[in-house]
Structure 1
Amino acid sequence: MGTGVADPISILGLLLGLCAAVPAWSKFLVETSSLTITLPESLKGSYDSAIGNFGVPQYGGTMAGTVVYPTKQADGCTPFSESFRGPNTGGRPVFALLDRGGCYFALKTWNAQNAGAAAVLVADDKVETLITMDTPDEGKYSDLIQNITIPSALIDKTLGDSLKKVLASNEMVNINLDWRESLPHPDERVEYEFWTNSNDICGPKCDAQAEFKRDFKGVAQLLEKGGYTSFIPHYITWYCPQAFIESKQCKSQCINKGRYCAPDPEQDFNKGYQGKDVVLENLRQLCVFKVATQAKRPWVWWDYVTDFQIRCPMKNNLYNQDCAEKVITSLSLSTSDVRSCMMDPELDADNPLLKKEQDAQVGTGTRGDVTILPTLIINNRQYRGKLDRAAVMKAICSGFQETTDPPVCLSGGVETNECLEHNGGCWENKKANITACKDTYRGRVCQCPLVDGVQFEGDGYTTCEAMGLGRCKVDNAGCWQEKRGDITFSACHESQSKGCQCPRGFRGDGIKECIDIDECKEKSKCQCPECMCTNKWGDYDCGCSKDLLYIREHDTCISKKSQSSKLGWAVSLIVFLGVASLGVVGYVVYKYRLRSYMDSEIRAIMAQYMPLDSSSEVNHHLTEEA
């Protein structure tokens, strides 16, 4: 139930969209291909068909086929139970004629492709000028859209009704689709633009842009380096209406006092990134292209945007200036030049680059306004079809004048080793010939390598570090090491799974250097009054003056004589105590035996004068006496 007052966020979103998409002078041109009917005689002639913004249009080529209109499921919104390839088609490619309405254009095309159709013609359900069939925004259709490999086109209601009437009378309809003039091809160089966005959490279309940049980078750079193409990246911006410039929404989505805006990435003004973060990164990417072009390396833009989306994603909270400038530095571009190009976003004035972008959004000549992201413009004509490496390459190659096609357009595929130049912007150890750059068909990746059973770990761009057992055997794990004579010191320790640490006697970062500590100069060792210190590489020697002995554990000198006398006294004391102990024991034994003897003598004498209870002792005594 409405309240009568619209949500200000919704108002701003609507206004921003209107300001960008529908200016009073705007025009959206529909890219068409020529459709020629050769049979029946009653319909012979050429007609326009609006190229769908998905699938693979056959730019530069033609396709002939027979039209089939299904008697069931004519809207194509559900999978077809029967194949379009029947005995009545004569083995020719089949163009499925489907009714508009009921579901997305892309779903109709997908179902027809699965039933064997070579192309799809959608008949409009109302009398109107042709429109461009676009893809849905729902994520559930993203895989489907990427797998559509056939062309599609919209035809007007009048032509659609005529085709259905003829087919209902069992007449054969043969059609030629001609894309040879869909893109101009005036000379031996193709000029093309790519309208994109740095926002990476906007759903399937953002994902498709990111994948295309990675896949197409190698081809784009090869064409640019060879002088076959002239490429320019572009970014759509919005502006905030004057009445809303001071609003919280405009301030969070715009820079330069509302002149350049982008929608909030999360569609939530209270959390996450803001629209102005996207505008700033878009501007930075434009400046990277400008600085790289001035350095005569315009193709580096492709390296920057692909590396940025890998290293600085929004989902990891790395979508910021610090991360971006690390990528810029890794590509040997000047961060100060990029900053200078971006200018102050708080100025109440136009930014030359972004102003130029807004002007370029408006169509001129044969090119309409740019209102769909992403958009490719080839030779001033908007490309229609999916963002696919092979499909886009086919379109670009169709833009060269006949017989001037570069060799890359005549080959079945394009293979480029992106690791050969600047190591692909990845980490490398030139000394050990180890690199994180790995060339693949889809473009290079920066991935820390596995060398001799030792795994390197890191981001692959600026750092890779040997980890685990055996790491010191591979270029000493990148740690400092030096040998002098027969002595070698190293900052790599097998007992540690990672890192570098200078050995005892050295200090430093353990990577670039370990500097010998002069224990003598720093007065950290051998500092007793009698000590004499001599520094050595990684160690020291300490001697004592005169007749003194150095004790390293206590860092002190002691007298050798003093030591001898003390030792002699200790030994003498031990001997004396031993002898004394033996004397005492001997004396005690002696006294005991003497007393025992005297007792026995007295007993013997007394036995002669008086009887005793036992005479065993007397007898024993007498026996001994005898």
Structure 2
Amino acid sequence: MLFLVSLIGIVYSTQLTLVEPSLTIPSTKNASMPVNVADFGYVPYGRTVGGNLTYVENTCNPLNITLNSNIVLTMGATCKFLAQAMNVQSAGGKMLVIIYNHEEDISNFLLIAEYGSQQSFIPTMMINKADGEFLIEKLESMTIYAQVSFELKQQEIVDLQYFLSSFDVLSYLFLDEFLPFAKQMINKITFDPIYIQFYCKECEKTGYKATNQNCISGGRYCGQDPDQNGPLTGRDVILEDLRQICILQKYDLITWWNYMILFNELCFNNYQECPSKIMKSISINETIVNDCMTSSFVGKNTLLDDNTILKEQRYKIMRNHQVYWPSLYINGEFYKGDLYLNNADESTVFDVDDFAVLEAICDGFLDDSRPTLCNATGFFSIKDGELQDCKYNQFIFQKQVP
């Protein structure tokens, strides 16, 4: 399922540039127009994609043409964006540009795909209606070569902000798959998990003086009920968020990560005593964590008093205008494209170059500070949470690759 989410406040810097001929676009007064890159498929960060523009009126059905690596321009339609991208990809197109068929500014929307869209290997994006109509008119009388550069801000140390929820299964999938790579670049990245939360509007009207089963702090911080009619509530979600933040504050990143992996494996079906057992199994002092949680409240009443840690989390959410999860920011820029690493596990041999999110993170490094992993090529496997180079492990390589 694909849907548009209103996301007012985020500005996207990626642009489609008309290279040959270099036409002046009326809306921008230069040869470039803004694009809104879809949050699915392959986004080739660090690279430039170029080709001749080809207008195809309808991409909802399989195309009976050969596109020869052209960039397809099409009008917005009632079918799913992913279906359009797959049809263009199957016909040999290298990129899909969809013209938004309403007058609103495309920067106010986010094109989201649910997990499972990894079969799309071309970037998809949207342009404003006026810009699209300008291109359609020009294509009637000329050939236009266009290109899009997918760039990220580069730094010596890459900053990663990951938006998640402690009771969201997909939030853990990225953590599970990315951990072996994170270990290889642990001294080259900062990783800041930010836990999505809500607030009770009715509670705000009464000055946060009433309790709510899905909230703490009088309704300032709330979570979604994870099991509906089951024993858990949104309050359990928020308190688990707080516990996980305290583990990260009191221990190192890998210890937090190990807790997260075990929580995902063991706690969803039997939560009540699970966090305590996990902490004990990986030498986390539960008293230290509980003291961190308790001291983060400004008073002794956790149901009504404000919480300093969650207040800071709320600020980070609002600063990034974040509306859905899981999602990733790289060096302060919102990452577009598939977040998952194709379920890489101990039975999988894979090529690191195929993983768009890893490629994007690597593109966030300055050239002289890139970790060794970012310059690696060839096949890898994962064993016991560690990367294995299949070039030196013929058994794994031969077993998995026909």
TM-score interval for Structure 1 and Structure 2 normalised by the shorter chain: 0.7 to 0.9
Q: Measure, in 2, the Cα distance between the counterparts of 1:57 and 1:361.
A: 24
Task: With a CA cutoff of 8 Å and minimum separation of 6, indicate the structure with the bigger relative contact order.
Answer: 2
Distance 1:128 1:27, change over 3 A: closer
**Corresponding residue of 2:60:** 77
> What amino acid is aligned across from residue 135 of structure 1 in structure 2?
I
CA RMSD of aligned residues (A): 2.7
The alignment partner of 2:253 has SS state of coil
**Corresponding residue of 2:40:** 54
**What's the TM-score, normalizing by structure 2?**
0.81
TM-superposed CA distance for 1:353, in Å, is: 1.2
**Corresponding residue of 2:352:** none
Q: Measure, in 1, the Cα distance between the counterparts of 2:248 and 2:378.
A: 27
**Corresponding residue of 1:271:** 230
**Corresponding residue of 1:68:** 54
**Corresponding residue of 1:152:** 124
TM-superposed CA distance for 1:194, in Å, is: 0.4
Q: Measure, in 1, the Cα distance between the counterparts of 2:91 and 2:326.
A: 29
Q: Measure, in 2, the Cα distance between the counterparts of 1:192 and 1:306.
A: 18
Contact 2:209–2:304 (Cα < 8 Å) also in 1:
no
TM-superposed CA distance for 1:158, in Å, is: 1.7
Contact 1:30–1:130 (Cα < 8 Å) also in 2:
no
**Corresponding residue of 2:257:** 302
> What amino acid is aligned across from residue 112 of structure 1 in structure 2?
V
TM-superposed CA distance for 1:273, in Å, is: 2.6
> What amino acid is aligned across from residue 409 of structure 1 in structure 2?
C
Query: Runs of 5+ in structure 2 lacking a partner?
Result: 25-29, 295-299, 342-354, 390-402
> What amino acid is aligned across from residue 144 of structure 2 in structure 1?
V
**Corresponding residue of 1:14:** none
Q: Measure, in 2, the Cα distance between the counterparts of 1:345 and 1:261.
A: 16
Deviations, residues 172-192 of structure 1 (Å, cap 9, x unaligned): 221111113xx211x311111
* 2:157 counterpart of 1:196: no
Q: Measure, in 2, the Cα distance between the counterparts of 1:119 and 1:409.
A: 25
* 2:376 counterpart of 1:411: yes
Query: Runs of 5+ in structure 1 lacking a partner?
Result: 1-20, 86-92, 201-205, 425-438, 443-626
TM-superposed CA distance for 1:381, in Å, is: 1.3
Q: Measure, in 1, the Cα distance between the counterparts of 2:61 and 2:271.
A: 41
Alignment of structure 1 residues 192-271 onto 2, 5 Å? 192-200=160-168, 206-207=169-170, 209-224=171-186, 227-241=187-201, 242=203, 243=205, 251-266=212-227, 268=228, 270-271=229-230
Distance 1:214 1:37, change over 3 A: same
Q: Measure, in 1, the Cα distance between the counterparts of 2:388 and 2:87.
A: 30
The alignment partner of 1:79 has SS state of coil
**Corresponding residue of 1:388:** 340
TM-superposed CA distance for 1:412, in Å, is: 2.2
TM-superposed CA distance for 1:308, in Å, is: 0.8
Distance 1:99 1:345, change over 3 A: farther
Contact 2:23–2:31 (Cα < 8 Å) also in 1:
no
The alignment partner of 1:32 has SS state of coil
Alignment length (residue pairs) = 358
Q: Measure, in 1, the Cα distance between the counterparts of 2:176 and 2:193.
A: 15
* 2:388 counterpart of 1:402: no
TM-superposed CA distance for 1:256, in Å, is: 2.1
Alignment of structure 1 residues 284-433 onto 2, 5 Å? 284-292=243-251, 297-313=252-268, 316=269, 318-320=270-272, 322-343=273-294, 346-363=302-319, 368-389=320-341, 390-412=355-377, 419=384
Deviations, residues 278-324 of structure 1 (Å, cap 9, x unaligned): 112211211121122xxxx31222222122111112xx2x123x111
Deviations, residues 222-271 of structure 1 (Å, cap 9, x unaligned): 211xx111111110111113247677xx62210122121012224x4x43
Distance 1:405 1:64, change over 3 A: same
The alignment partner of 2:284 has SS state of coil
**Corresponding residue of 2:75:** 99
Alignment of structure 1 residues 506-521 onto 2, 5 Å? none
Q: Measure, in 2, the Cα distance between the counterparts of 1:237 and 1:258.
A: 11
The alignment partner of 1:277 has SS state of helix
Q: Measure, in 1, the Cα distance between the counterparts of 2:248 and 2:105.
A: 38
TM-superposed CA distance for 1:146, in Å, is: 2.5
Contact 2:44–2:123 (Cα < 8 Å) also in 1:
yes
Distance 1:126 1:298, change over 3 A: same
> What amino acid is aligned across from residue 82 of structure 1 in structure 2?
I
Distance 1:413 1:222, change over 3 A: farther
Deviations, residues 567-592 of structure 1 (Å, cap 9, x unaligned): xxxxxxxxxxxxxxxxxxxxxxxxxx
Identity of aligned residues (%): 28
Distance 1:262 1:96, change over 3 A: same
Distance 1:102 1:239, change over 3 A: same
**Corresponding residue of 1:172:** 143
Contact 2:39–2:113 (Cα < 8 Å) also in 1:
no
Deviations, residues 310-345 of structure 1 (Å, cap 9, x unaligned): 1112xx2x123x111222222222111111122277
Contact 2:160–2:329 (Cα < 8 Å) also in 1:
yes
